[in-house]
Structure 1
Amino acid sequence: MNIKLIVAAVASMCVTCTLVNNAKAAGNIRVATFNVSMDATNYTAQGESVNPNALVNALKSDHQQIKNIAEIIQRVRPDILLLNEFDYVNKSQGIDYFIQNYLKVSQNKQPAINYPYTYIGPVNTGVASEFDFDNDGKKTGKLGDAYGFGFFPGHYGMAVLSRYPIDFDKVRSLQKFKYKDMPDAQMPIDPETKQDWYNNDEWQAMRLSSKSFWDLPIDVKGKTVHLLASHPTPPVFDGEEDRNGKRNHDEVRLVKDYIENASYLYDDKGVKGGLKSNSRFVIVGDLNAAPEGDKKRPNTTNQLLANPLINSQFVPVSKGAATSYTDKYAAAYTAHWQARVDYVLPSTYGLSVQDGGVFWPTKNSELYRLIKDRNASSDHRMVWLDILVK
């Protein structure tokens, strides 16, 4: 990360502080990613069992956290938006209901916003396996033994909202791509036995994506922009074997290999390969990997941030984070737990970054109420870029 870039950006934050209330420059599209914490556990009291319908029930209850999420979206007004941690539930009760009853309704006097094109799809979180993936001696079929950590199928899902048409016939998903099929994948080693963490049967069945990986072709004024969406597993909640850290690395590597059109890849329909050269793309998502600071995983993030196919020179920042923490990397943080983990990364080909930022109001701002804690909205902040499609 270029610290001079961050310092320069923070110095000009007086512009960014008001920009979210203004229209973007003519000809640009605004692309954003936002981990919204709209998953069932966020609406479940401590000690209660997790209800797969918790999000549906919260949406119907005029929930203040959801209203705050909607207000943030109305203030930033992205044209294309990835939502992480939005449970995969019935479309009419989930994403469509959210748009109709929250986004298309003014929140705190903000102009309503509509997204005529949406995409949701199945994810690996909570999908039962027959294996003991976490090696605790139990085959529970959920949580650490599911194909992705979750309480039920669709937990911690993803959703894409767009004001531009999505070419649904050409959407690609790599949800079921097998981990074993990635060359030189990082197999964790059991620190006690010194053997592979996963036995042969487990390794043959293991899926790489903890949620999924999507390629959504979007028609932006006659030019195709591929939205590459994912949400790799956090590189924590494991042990010395670092199985989640290694999986996180390889989930990010999947994104890298996809934009490099690696021949070993295949999607859920059996179509092989990745993205063709000279394609416009924007990588979005909570990648759960930081380039700097206490939680840094540079070997993971550099797969993208140092990739010549990606324009990573513009680092979105906020005055809110810069003034909340003393760390020299704080301006670029995207989560309250002090890390840059949420990304909007455009291709060097065919796209040009014009502006961007992180929605993180300062503590003396009237808007601080929207992000003061996780109950207000989320432990993550929305990250956005204004991009010129050339």
Structure 2
Amino acid sequence: MKTLIIGLSLASFVASFTTLAQTLKVATFNVSMESTNYTSLGMAPSDKVLAQVLSSKDNLQVRNIAEIIQRVNPDILLLNEFDYIADKSKGIDAFVKHFLNVPQAGQAAVDYPYTYVAPVNTGVPTEFDLDNNGKAEKFGGDAYGYGLYPGQYGMAILSKYPIEYEQIRTFQMFKWHHMPNAQIPVLPAEDGSMENGEPWYSEEEWTSLRLSSKSHWDVPVKVNGSLVHVLAMHPTPPNFDGEEDRNGKRNHDEIRLMADYLTPGKGSYIYDDAGHKVSLPKNTRFVLVGDFNAADIGDKHRPDVIEQLTESPYVNNRLIPTSKGGAALSEQDYSRRFTAYWGARADYVLPSTYGFNVQDAGVFWPPSDSPLYRLVKDRNASSDHRMVWVTLEVLESEAHNE
């Protein structure tokens, strides 16, 4: 399938019918709103920091993030690295009320009456020495997902359309070893072979480990009568490990879990946190969103990882969001598709091939000569990632793309 790269306007898709329900803009944004980004304020990292920052109502980084959201104005938005706060009035709803509902730098206020947060695996302690440094420390590399405290690097969904809360499925507890043919981390033998290598995890550790480093979510949203499944995740970065490649293998299998979930006939092994065997049926509208930590090209690309999604016949990756800011990062033509300042397409909004036509897409990354560059100049300004968005036409019946 030929891939087309786009900027802020898009080539058209041809539908097999003419009746369209409506336009829907979906976005993902890793906002770096986790506590280590606020150490300059004199606050030690903890699960209390973000609530304190939001209560101030005047943090410049958060105001800049709100301004970016107001400028792009998505209908449905996933936030990555938004620390989990169970009391939504102090967390995600405080962000909406005190920042998004307030005009930033002359932009119109936006509102998201429907929000969703849930626990994640980051910082949740285990009893094991998972990083094999000789100490079982219950945090960092010894947590179910790397984190200094429970809820660090959490996720949140904001929607202008009703979330079908009773139909939400989460996969925080799914055990890694329950995935058929999982990629088991192994230390190579002295001769360099993996066949004679030693498993990185003990049998007890392996059978206890959860696959998702944060969580995997299926959050259905009702868009004027059409159900759209928002499939959200934030797989672990495929580095910060050693020859055993434990994070690389986990990243691969976290992405595979979602690929199997959306592929009819492949997700029969998957169970949600309620213990139900679940996967998506054929002809389901969905949009994959998140920081997947998986480049599709360049020196950070790992073969056969993101391709589990981008080359799926059920996923539309034909039109790739780009930006002028990303293009300036290197002389390589593909840098236009970068979504992170460290030079990779890491963040994705991927709609299903069923039920949508793609109208437009982009990455919010103004170039350095733009007056809006102030919003993205570094992580303290907003984030080390950029917002990615796709505008879709929600079709009343299936379309055929040409």
- SS of the equivalent of 2:97 reads helix
Classify 1:2/1:371 alpha carbon distance in 2 versus 1 (closer, same or farther; 3 Å).
farther
Deviations 1:101-123 (A, max 9, x none): 00000000100000000000000
> Which of 359, 362, 366 pairs up with 1:357?
362
2:69 paired with 1:73:
yes
Classify 1:46/1:370 alpha carbon distance in 2 versus 1 (closer, same or farther; 3 Å).
closer
The CA deviation at 1:53 is: 1.0
| Alignment RMSD | 1.7
CA contact (8 A) 1:44 1:54 kept: no
Higher helix share: 1
The CA deviation at 1:192 is: 5.8
Residue identity matched to 1:306: E
The CA deviation at 1:51 is: 2.2
> Which of 383, 387, 390 pairs up with 2:388?
383
- SS of the equivalent of 1:298 reads coil
What aligned pairs does 1:277-288 form with structure 2 within 5 A after superposition? 277-288=282-293
The CA deviation at 1:326 is: 1.3
Q: Which ranges in structure 1 are unaligned for 5 or more consecutive residues? A: 17-24
Distance in 1 between the 2:255 and 2:91 partners?
A: 28
CA contact (8 A) 2:129 2:137 kept: yes
CA contact (8 A) 1:28 1:387 kept: yes
What percent of counterpart residues are identical? 57
What is residue 151 of structure 1 aligned with on the other side?
Answer: 148
What is residue 338 of structure 1 aligned with on the other side?
Answer: 343
> Which of 60, 65, 77 pairs up with 1:64?
60
Classify 1:64/1:2 alpha carbon distance in 2 versus 1 (closer, same or farther; 3 Å).
farther
What is residue 122 of structure 2 aligned with on the other side?
Answer: 125
Distance in 1 between the 2:80 and 2:286 partners?
A: 19
Deviations 1:335-381 (A, max 9, x none): 00000010000000111111010000011111000001111000000
> Which of 81, 85, 94 pairs up with 1:85?
81
What aligned pairs does 1:230-245 form with structure 2 within 5 A after superposition? 230-245=233-248
CA contact (8 A) 1:334 1:381 kept: yes
Number of equivalent positions: 376
What is residue 269 of structure 2 aligned with on the other side?
Answer: 264
Distance in 1 between the 2:21 and 2:340 partners?
A: 30
Query: TM-score when scaled to structure 1?
Result: 0.93
Deviations 1:11-39 (A, max 9, x none): xx5x59xxxxxxxx992110000000000
Deviations 1:115-166 (A, max 9, x none): 0000000000000101111111110111100000001111100000000000
The CA deviation at 1:328 is: 2.2
What aligned pairs does 1:1-390 form with structure 2 within 5 A after superposition? 5-6=4-5, 9-10=6-7, 13=8, 27-45=22-40, 49-61=44-56, 62-89=58-85, 90-191=87-188, 194-261=197-264, 262-390=267-395
What is residue 20 of structure 1 aligned with on the other side?
Answer: none
Distance in 2 between the 1:249 and 1:179 partners?
A: 12
The CA deviation at 1:60 is: 2.1
Distance in 1 between the 2:293 and 2:332 partners?
A: 19
Residue identity matched to 2:161: Y
Q: Which has the higher contact order (CA 8 A, sep 6+)?
A: 2
The CA deviation at 1:45 is: 4.0
The CA deviation at 1:191 is: 3.3
Residue identity matched to 2:45: V
Deviations 1:264-297 (A, max 9, x none): 0000001102111110000000000001011002
Residue identity matched to 1:129: T
Query: TM-score when scaled to structure 2?
Result: 0.91
Distance in 1 between the 2:356 and 2:21 partners?
A: 15
